[in-house]
Amino acid sequence: MPGGGAPYKVVWVDGKPPKYWVLLGRTFLAFCLVWTMLQIFFWRFGQTSPDFIHSSSRFYDGKLYYFPTIVLWLHDFGLFVVMAWMFVLAVIMAFHRKMVPRNS
């Protein structure tokens, strides 16, 4: 076959990923799902009058809407959280995997 491929493959040191990496990966996927749904339904969390939960404001469509602080923070900085989480998972993969010769 032309080109072949790399003469090595990368595998986990113990043969499988660490349990904390699997837990971080699953919670990462759950967070991505929640964050995506938040982006889709963001404006449904807002209301036009503030209360003790809806304390952060955002101007949209000629009106001032009030949102829960965590919802507004995740809307603004959620992508940064996703990228940082991916970086942490990649660093763990970089230090807990090794290159072995491919036996074909």
Q: Judge whether 7 lies within some domain.
A: no
Q: Judge whether 73 lies within some domain.
A: yes
Residues 99 and 90 sit within 8 Å (Cβ to Cβ): no
Q: Judge whether 17 lies within some domain.
A: yes
Instruction: Kindly give the residue spans of alpha helices, DSSP state H, lying in 1-104.
Output: 19-40, 69-95
Q: What is the pLDDT along the chain (104 residues), one digit of tens a residue?
A: 565 677 788 888 888 889 999 999 999 999 999 999 999 998 889 899 999 999 999 988 889 999 999 999 999 999 999 999 999 999 998 888 888 888 75
Phi first, then psi, for residue 48 (nearest 5°) are -85, -10
Structurally, how many domains does the chain consist of? 1
Model confidence pTM above 0.95:
no
Q: Judge whether 8 lies within some domain.
A: no
Q: Judge whether 40 lies within some domain.
A: yes
